[in-house]
Amino acid sequence: MGQEPYIDVRELTVVYGGETIFENENFRIEGSGLTMVIGPNGSGKTTLFKSILGLVSPVKGRVVVNGVDVTGHPEVAGKIIGYVPQLLEINASFPVSVKEVIESAIILHRAPPRLLTPRYLKERILNLLNKLELREVANKPLRELSGGQRQRAFIARAIIWDPSILILDEPLSAVDPKGRIEIVKLIAELAESKLVLVSSHDPSLFLPYAKAIMVVNRGVLAIGSPEEILNLELLKQVYGDSVMLIQECMHLCDSHVR
């Protein structure tokens, strides 16, 4: 039995060009389940993820993941955490097939040598292609796929070695409404056995599956269960007038679950 996955952030301070994005943040996320990170554009969601992934070096503080200090060390963090960056950051016209996207991760995220036999790899890739319903498009270039298929290809890449922690940055932003439900279900399923952090500025779809919500706005304003977090006062502080939209979604989700 492995230990429960966790992310422990201590006294994290991140500054970009003189602008403080996070100051002295402390939080801990533990165990499998879906934690939704919400906050307006520019509030620091991506910066927070990149700090956890060691891609941003804080001016102060530490990030410990599953007992390993990964602060400023993406090569260490990358062995523990699967990461799906926002699709906007990926050049989808690059002439590479779904299969190649997945295969390239095998080299990047070094696997235990005993697993690197051609037979095992072939099986592993086939399993992933089946699980993520990508088998039929496996040899197609990314640009010929739908947004949802492309997103699933990058999720496959991130989970190739079955990481205990998975971070997805705005996984719905480049996906059409029909494809979104499938992506949400897939992420919810992965969160049954992994610690999953997902950012979204339309949280309604993830809400029924979220065990926790973290509210970010140039700092971590709150972290807790959906019931604790989704109160009007707090959300108004963060979102101002657009909060009504979220409240309506909340009712919608409530009626779906029951």
Rule CB under 5 A: which residues touch Mg ion? 45-46
Burial 161-199 (b: 16+ CB within 10 A, else e): bebbbbbbbbbbbbbeeebbebbbebbbebbeebbbbbb
Range 12-41, binding ligand ADP (CB under 6 A): 16-17, 21, 39, 41
Per CB under 6 A, 203 contacts ligand ADP: no
- Per CB under 6 A, the list member of 42, 237, 245, 252 interacting with ligand ADP is 42
Please state the φ and ψ torsions of residue 212, each to the nearest 5 degrees: -150, 155
Picked from Mg ion, ligand ADP, none, the partner binding residue 44 (CB below 5 to 8 A depending on kind) is: ligand ADP
| Strands (E) located in the chain | 6-16, 19-30, 33-38, 60-65, 68-69, 81-84, 165-169, 195-199, 210-216, 220-224
Q: How far is the CB of 192 from ligand ADP (least distance, A)?
A: 26
- Per CB under 6 A, the list member of 22, 29, 36, 44 interacting with ligand ADP is 44
Picked from ligand ADP, Mg ion, none, the partner binding residue 255 (CB below 5 to 8 A depending on kind) is: none
Secondary structure class of 122 (helix, strand, coil): helix
Per CB under 6 A, 66 contacts ligand ADP: no
Q: Cα–Cα distance between 5 and 193 in angstroms, integer?
A: 10
Smaller CB separation from Mg ion, 12 or 132: 12
Smaller CB separation from ligand ADP, 44 or 203: 44
Q: Cα–Cα distance between 151 and 218 in angstroms, integer?
A: 28
Q: Cα–Cα distance between 76 and 258 in angstroms, integer?
A: 42
Bridge partners, 33 (sequence order): 195
Q: How many residues bind ligand ADP (CB under 6 A)?
A: 11
Smaller CB separation from Mg ion, 15 or 115: 15
Which residue in 91, 86, 114, 88 sits closest to 101, CA to CA?
A: 91
Q: Cα–Cα distance between 160 and 157 in angstroms, integer?
A: 5
Picked from Mg ion, ligand ADP, none, the partner binding residue 84 (CB below 5 to 8 A depending on kind) is: none
Per CB under 6 A, 43 contacts ligand ADP: yes
Please state the φ and ψ torsions of residue 67, each to the nearest 5 degrees: 85, 0
Q: How far is the CB of 196 from ligand ADP (least distance, A)?
A: 17
Picked from ligand ADP, Mg ion, none, the partner binding residue 81 (CB below 5 to 8 A depending on kind) is: none
User: Which residues make up the interface to ligand ADP (CB under 6 A)?
Assistant: 16-17, 21, 39, 41-47
